[in-house]
C-alpha cells in the first residue's frame, strides 16, 4: 500500500536533512527497521513494514531511503541544501472498495531546497520547500521544523515540532474526487490547500562504535480540507508514525 509510510517519513526526513550537514562524517550506514504509519483513508488498516535502511553521510552529500541532499555550508551554524525526495503517498484504485472507479494516485518525486540553522542553545531550525516534478500532483509543500537533540554518552533524545503547508494541487490530487469519479456514495470533492502541525520524539542509542539503535514516534493534526474528503474516515482528526531498528556504520 503506497500511502502508509509517508506519514512516518516527514519528521525523519526533515531531521536527517537538518542534522547531516552539521555532523557529516563521510560514512555509510546499513541496517533494518520496522515502520508503521497511519493512513487516513477509509477501510485501510495500518500495517508494519520491515524494510532495509541504507544511509550515507558525507561532507556535502547525504542519502536516506527516500531522500538525497547536497549541502552548501554558509558558516559553522548555517547551511542550505538542495533536495530530491520521494513522496510515498497515494493509492491504487484496486486497494479497496473506497477507491473503486477512481484513477490511481501515484507516488511523487519532489525537488526543492531548505535553509538550516543549528546552535547548541536553540537546537536545529529548518525551513524547506518541495515541488512535484513527476507530473503526479504538480503541487508544492513548505515545511518548518524545530528539533533539540539532548546528547548523552550513548543516548541521544530529540524532541521536535513541525508545521507543514501543502498547496491546493497537492491536497486535491491525493484527497479530491473528480466529477467523473463521483458515485452515489462518493460525492465529488475539490480540496483546497491544507496546513498540519505535529510533534515527534526520536531516540538514538549507540550500542557499539558501529551499531546505533533508533526509534521514533510522531503525531500530527489533519486539516479540515483533508478530513472533509469523502475518501477519509469521518472520525480521523490526527495521524501518527512509529519506527524502530538499527544501523551499522562503516
Render pLDDT for 22-69 as a digit per residue (tens, 0 to 9).
444 568 899 999 988 878 888 877 778 888 888 888 889 998 888 999
Question: What is the predicted pLDDT for the residue at 65?
Answer: 81
More confident site: 220 or 3: 220
More confident site: 75 or 46: 75
What mean pLDDT do residues 165-170 have? Answer: 98
| Distance (Å, whole) CA 58 – CA 62 | 6
Domain spanning 6-249 has what CATH number?
A: 2.40.160
Question: What is the predicted pLDDT for the residue at 25?
Answer: 53
Question: What is the predicted pLDDT for the residue at 57?
Answer: 85
Instruction: Report the chain's mean pLDDT, rounded to a whole number.
Output: 88
**Terminal-residue alpha carbon distance, the chain:** 32
| Distance (Å, whole) CA 107 – CA 113 | 20
Question: What is the predicted pLDDT for the residue at 215?
Answer: 94
Amino acid at each position: 500500500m503506497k500511502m502508509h509510510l509517508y506519514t512516518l517519513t516527514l519528521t525523519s526526513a526533515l531531521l536527517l536533512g537538518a542534522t547531516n550537514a552539521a555532523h557529516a562524517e563521510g560514512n555509510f550506514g546499513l541496517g533494518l527497521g520496522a515502520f508503521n504509519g497511519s493512513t487516513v483513508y477509509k477501510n485501510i488498516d495500518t500495517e508494519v513494514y520491515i524494510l532495509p535502511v541504507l544511509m550515507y553521510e558525507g561532507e556535502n552529500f547525504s542519502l536516506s531511503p527516500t531522500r538525497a541532499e547536497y549541502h552548501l555550508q554558509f558558516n559553522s551554524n548555517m547551511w542550505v541544501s538542495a533536495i530530491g525526495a520521494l513522496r510515498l503517498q497515494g493509492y491504487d484504485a484496486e486497494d479497496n472498495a473506497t477507491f473503486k472507479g477512481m484513477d490511481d494516485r501515484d507516488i511523487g518525486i519532489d525537488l526543492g531546497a531548505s535553509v538550516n540553522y543549528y546552535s547548541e542553545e536553540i537546537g536545529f531550525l529548518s525551513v524547506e520547500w518541495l515541488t512535484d516534478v513527476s507530473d503526479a500532483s504538480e503541487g508544492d509543500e513548505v515545511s518548518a521544523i524545530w528539533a533539540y537533540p539532548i546528547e548523552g554518552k550513548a543516548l541521544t533524545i530529540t524532541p521536535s515540532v513541525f508545521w507543514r503547508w501543502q498547496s491546493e494541487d497537492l491536497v486535491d490530487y491525493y484527497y479530491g474526487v473528480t466529477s467523473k469519479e463521483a458515485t452515489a456514495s462518493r460525492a465529488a470533492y475539490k480540496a483546497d490547500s491544507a496546513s498540519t502541525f505535529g510533534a515527534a520524539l526520536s531516540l538514538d542509542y549507540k550500542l557499539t562504535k558501529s551499531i546505533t539503535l533508533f526509534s521514533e514516534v510522531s503525531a500530527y493534526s489533519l486539516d479540515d480540507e483533508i478530513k472533509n474528503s469523502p475518501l477519509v474516515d469521518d472520525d480521523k482528526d490526527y495521524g501518527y508514525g512509529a519506527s524502530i531498528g538499527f544501523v551499522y556504520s562503516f
